[in-house]
Structure 1
């Protein structure tokens, strides 16, 4: 039974799952949208929403120390300083007034090779 288990496992062991989510989140930050399988899109959506919330708090923070601490928390998850700066300085200001739901998933159809269900995950435009 899977009682109280909230993570999407996406068929990978822990460190591989973490690396996959990190790479997918970096691609969303860099390109604004990606096409991936539906289970991966649902997993990265949860991961990315938490990062985005931290980025918005870092942008809104009056205290420099709190802003730096939040940037470090984001860096701990992503591992790329350039992406952290882009997320906080360029992407987060667009969503300052939005309470959540920064990404949307659109189903694209089956993948040609193996028939896996594919989805487009992109940042929501206001």
Structure 2
């Protein structure tokens, strides 16, 4: 039984999985949305939302914790300076996953993961 198993292994070792999710969070911070498999998007969501929560707290200790998780200074700077202030009045649910259908090469379910506020602000101005 799979009771109380929080993370999905994604066919990788724990170190590889952590680096994969950290890289995807950094790309999500920089680009605002990324296209990936549905399973990876579902695994990415809690990591991304925890990083936004750290960014909202904004202390030096939280910045160092985010840097130890993400390993990319420019992404952490953008998270704390630009992204987290957008979500100050929101208490959770910072990301949205949109299903795109199956990939033609191997039939894997694809998804688009994006920030909720960023998509709303883009939709209003553009």
Same fold (TM > 0.5)? yes
TM-score, normalised with respect to structure 2 = 0.90
CA distance in 1 between partners of 2:3 and 2:114 (Å): 31
Deviation for aligned residue 1:12: 1.2
Q: Give the secondary-structure state (helix, strand or coil) at the position aligned to 2:97.
A: strand
Q: Look up the match of 2:27.
A: 27
The reply on whether 1:124 has 2:116 as its aligned counterpart is: yes
Comparing 5-14 and 19-28, the one that deviates more: 5-14
The reply on whether 1:111 has 2:106 as its aligned counterpart is: no
RMSD: 0.9
Deviation for aligned residue 1:87: 0.2
Gaps of 5+ in 1: 59-66
Deviation for aligned residue 1:108: 0.6
Could you list the structure 1 runs, at least 4 aligned residues long, displaced by more than 4 angstroms after superposition: none
CA distance in 1 between partners of 2:92 and 2:42 (Å): 15
Count matched residues: 118
The 5 A counterparts of 1:1-126 are 1-58=1-58, 67-125=59-117, 126=120
CA distance in 2 between partners of 1:77 and 1:98 (Å): 23
